Amino acid sequence: MVDPLNSSSPSMWRFHHRRWIHALFLPYKALVTVLWIVGFTSLFVWQRNIFIFGRRPPIPCGSFPRLRPLAFNLTDFGGVGDGFTINTEAFEKAVLAISKVGGKRGGGQLNVGAGRWLTAPFNLTSHMTLFLAQDAVILGIDDEKYWPLMPPMPSYGYGREHPGPRYGSLIHGQNLKDVVITGHNGTINGQGQAWWKKFRQKLLNHTRGPLVQIMWSRDILISNITLRDSPFWTLHPYDCKNVTIRNMTILAPIFEAPNTDGIDPDSCEDVIIEDSYLSVGDDGVAIKSGWDQYGVAYGKPSKNILIRNLVIRSMVSGGISIGSEMSGGVSNVTIENILVWDSRRGVRIKTAAGRGAYVKDIKYRNLTFENVRVGIIIKTDYNEPPDTGFNPEAFPVIRDISYESIHGEGVRVAVRLQGSADIFVRNVSFRDMSVGIRDKKKHIFQCSYVQGKVIGSIFPAPCVNLDLYDEKGVLVKKSGSENASDIDYDI
Ligand SMILES: *[C@@H]1O[C@H](CO)[C@@H](O)[C@H](O)[C@H]1NC(C)=O
Ligand SMILES: *[C@@H]1O[C@H](CO)[C@@H](O)[C@H](O)[C@H]1NC(C)=O
Ligand SMILES: *[C@@H]1O[C@H](CO)[C@@H](O)[C@H](O)[C@H]1NC(C)=O
Ligand SMILES: *[C@@H]1O[C@H](CO)[C@@H](O)[C@H](O)[C@H]1NC(C)=O
Ligand SMILES: *[C@@H]1O[C@H](CO)[C@@H](O)[C@H](O)[C@H]1NC(C)=O
Ligand SMILES: *[C@@H]1O[C@H](CO)[C@@H](O)[C@H](O)[C@H]1NC(C)=O
Ligand SMILES: *[C@@H]1O[C@H](CO)[C@@H](O)[C@H](O)[C@H]1NC(C)=O
Ligand SMILES: *[C@@H]1O[C@H](CO)[C@@H](O)[C@H](O)[C@H]1NC(C)=O
Ligand SMILES: *[C@@H]1O[C@H](CO)[C@@H](O)[C@H](O)[C@H]1NC(C)=O
Ligand SMILES: *[C@@H]1O[C@H](CO)[C@@H](O)[C@H](O)[C@H]1NC(C)=O
Ligand SMILES: *[C@@H]1O[C@H](CO)[C@@H](O)[C@H](O)[C@H]1NC(C)=O
C-alpha cells in the first residue's frame, strides 16, 4: 500500500514524524479540553441568559418539527402529563422562558408531547409557537376557582352573561404579535361539561370563559389541531389583525353545550378561516364587532374576512353567522365553498334596532345545505340588548349582499330575508340557486322590506320583493313590492 503523502519520504523522517505527532498528542488533548470547557461555559452562560431556570433546553425530538430556533419541552419545566397533576406552573415557566428569547432571536417553541396535561388558564407570549404532538391533550380544569376573572371586553360592556367581570380563557393572549398554535392534531380540551351544567342550573356568577382568546394582537396562526368542549365560545380572536385559522377540527356536543360557538372573529381585520371541520353546540362561525352602545362607542369593525372550505354542523344554531353583536360594523366578507349539514340554520345575518353600524359588502358563493331547516337568513329583530341604555333609534344598515351558486337538499325554507320599515335591507342579489325543499310548501322564499335582484332563474322561485333580470343582466320585471311581507316562522 502506498502512502500518498509520505511515499517519497525517508523512513527516518517517518519515524520522527510519528514521534512528533505523539509528542504533540497530550498538549493537543489538553487544548481540546480547554476549548471544550470554554465553549461549554459560554454556551451555559448564554443559555442562562435566556433560560432563567438554569436547565438545558432539550434537544429537538424527532416527532417535533423545528419551527423556531429554540425549542423547549413542557416536561423540562416540571410538566407531568398524567391527567391529574396540575401543570399551570410548568406552562407559565415555559412561556416566561420563551418571552426571554424575544423576537430578534426568532422566538421559541413549546413542545407538548403525548399525554394529558391538566392546567388552569395561562397566558401566551409574543414570538411563540405552541406545538401539540399527535396524542397531546391540554385539559382545562373544570373548577371555576382556578379561573381568574378579567374585566369585560370594552365593546360588550358586560360579561355577556352576567354584569361585571368574566372568566378569562383557558389559553389567553393580549397585546401580542407572532403567535402560532399548531401541531400534529393534538387537542385542547376545555372539559366544558361541568360549566354547561352549572350554567343551566344558574350556579355561575360570572360569564364563562372561552377556550382560546387572543386580544389586541397581530400575526396569529392557529392550525392543524383539535379544539373541543369549550366552556363557552371556542376560539375568540378579539380586535386582532392578520389572523389565519386553518385545517382545524372544532368539536362540542351538538345539544346541551350552550354557546359553544366554533370561531368568533370579533372586531378583527384581515382574517382567513379555511379547510376546517366544525361540529358544535352553537354557531359554527360568528363574525361579531361589539354590542349596542358599547360596541358603537368602541367602534372597531370586523372587515376583510375570507371564510372558505368548511364543513359545519350546528343542530341548535347556524353554520356561519354575522352578528348579532355587530355594533362596530362588518364589511368585506367572502364566504365560499361551505357545506352546512344537519343544522338549524345555514348562513345568517342577525341584528336588531339598537345595534347601529352596518353589515355590508358580503359575498356568499358555492354553499351547500344538507338537511337544514332554513338556508339563508337575514333577521333584523334579534332583540337581545345588553341593558336598557341602548339607543333604540340606532338602526343598522344592511346592504350589498350577494348569494351565488347555492345548492342543497332537505331544506325546509330556502330563504328568509326579514327587513323592517326601520331596517330596510338593500341591494341583495341571487344568482344560480337550486335548493331541494324537504316538504313542498308555500313560504319557502320569504321576504319583507327587502330590495334586490335575481339574475337568471333560481329554485325555489323568488319572493315578489326582488327585481328579475335575465342571464345577460337585462331587466325582465321590476318588483315594485319591496315592502311586501311574507314571513312565516311556523315552518
Ligand atoms: C419531551 O417530552 C416528552 C413527553 O411529553 C418525552 O416523551 C420526550 O422524550 C421529551 N423530548 C425531549 C427531547 O426531551
Ligand atoms: C393574562 O394576562 C392578562 C393581562 O395581563 C391578565 O389580566 C390575566 O389575569 C392573565 N391571565 C392569567 C391566567 O395569568
Ligand atoms: C392538516 O392537519 C393534519 C393534522 O391535524 C395533518 O396531518 C395534515 O397534513 C394537515 N393538512 C394540511 C393540508 O395541512
Ligand atoms: C384530528 O382529530 C380529530 C379528533 O380526534 C379527528 O376527528 C380528526 O379527523 C383528526 N384530523 C386529522 C386530519 O387526522
Ligand atoms: C355565587 O354567589 C353566591 C352568592 O354570593 C355564592 O354563594 C356562590 O358560591 C357563588 N358561586 C360561584 C360559583 O362562585
Ligand atoms: C401575517 O401573519 C403571518 C403569520 O401568521 C406572517 O407570516 C405574515 O407576514 C403576516 N402578514 C402581514 C401582512 O403582516
Ligand atoms: C399542517 O401540517 C402539515 C403536515 O404536517 C404541514 O405541511 C403544514 O404546513 C401545516 N400547516 C400549518 C398552517 O401549520
Ligand atoms: C377585502 O378582503 C379581502 C380579503 O378577504 C382583501 O384581499 C381585499 O383587499 C379587501 N378589499 C378591500 C376593498 O379592502
Ligand atoms: C364548492 O364547494 C365544495 C365544498 O362544499 C367543493 O367540493 C367544490 O369543489 C366547490 N366548487 C367550486 C366550483 O369551487
Ligand atoms: C350592490 O352590491 C354589489 C355587491 O353585492 C355591489 O357590487 C354593487 O355596487 C352594489 N350596488 C349598489 C347600487 O350599491
Ligand atoms: C318601503 O319601505 C321603505 C323603508 O321603510 C320606505 O322608505 C319606502 O318608501 C317604502 N316603499 C314603498 C313602495 O312603500
Burial of residue 483, with CB atoms counted within 10 A of its CB: 0-12 exposed, 13-18 middle, 19 or more buried: middle
Name residues whose C-beta falls within 8 Å of residue 244's C-beta, 6 or more positions apart in sequence: 220, 221, 222, 223, 271, 272
pLDDT band at 386 (very low <50, low <70, confident <90, very high): confident
Which residue's alpha carbon is at the smallest distance from atom 3 of ligand 8?
Answer: 304
Please provide the average confidence, as pLDDT, over all residues in the chain.
Answer: 90
What is the per-residue pLDDT across 91-124, written as a single tens digit (0 to 9) for each?
Answer: 999 999 999 999 899 999 999 999 999 999 999 9
Q: H or E segment at 149?
A: strand 149-150
Segment 1-19 mean pLDDT: 42
Where residue 35 falls among pLDDT bands split at 50, 70, 90? low
3-state secondary structure of 14: helix
> 379 CB under 6 A from ligand 2?
no
Q: How far is the CA of 4 from the centre of ligand 2 (A)?
A: 70
Which cell goes with 485?
Answer: 311581507
Indicate if the pLDDT at residue 192 is higher than 60.
yes
pLDDT value, residue 453: 98
Tell which one of 277, 307, 337 to mutate to probe ligand 9, the residue whose CB is within 8 A of the most ligand atoms: 337
Nearest C-alpha neighbor of 120 from the set 97, 92, 157, 80: 92
Residue 37 pLDDT grade (very low, low, confident, very high; cuts 50, 70, 90):
low
Q: Kindly report which listed range (18-22, 210-214, 232-236) carries the lowest average pLDDT score.
A: 18-22
Identify the active-site residue in 76, 142, 266, 282.
Answer: 282
When pLDDT is averaged across residues 297-322 and rounded to a whole number, the result is 98
**Ligand 5 atom at minimal distance to the Cα of residue 198:** 13
Query: For residue 55, what pLDDT band results from cuts at 50, 70 and 90?
Result: very low
In this predicted structure, the answer to whether residue 242 has a pLDDT above a threshold of 80 is: yes
- Mean pLDDT within 261-272: 98
- Average pLDDT of the segment spanning 212-230: 98
CA dist 263 and 239 (Å) reads 14
* pLDDT cut 90: percent of the chain above it: 82
Mean pLDDT across the stretch 460-479? 97
**What's the mean pLDDT in 212-221?**
98
Please, which pLDDT band fits residue 434 given cuts at 50, 70 and 90?
Answer: very high
In this predicted model, which residue has the larger pLDDT, 53 or 131? 131
Note if 282 is an active site residue: yes
Q: How confident is the model at residue 385 (pLDDT cuts 50, 70, 90)?
A: confident
**Nearest residue (CA) to ligand 5, atom 5:** 205
What's the predicted TM-score (pTM) here? 0.89
The rounded Å distance from CA 225 to ligand 1 centre is: 19
Structure-model confidence comparison of residues 145 and 47, the more confident one: 145
- Owner of C-alpha cell 341548535: 316
The DSSP secondary-structure symbol of 168 reads -
Q: Is the pLDDT of residue 54 over 50?
A: no
Tell me whether strands 122-123 and 149-150 are parallel, antiparallel or unpaired.
Answer: unpaired
In the predicted model, is pLDDT for residue 355 greater than 70?
yes
**Ligand at shortest distance from the CA of 244:** 6
Atom of ligand 9 nearest to the CA of 366: 1
Q: Say if residues 310 and 332 touch (Cβ distance below 8 Å).
A: no
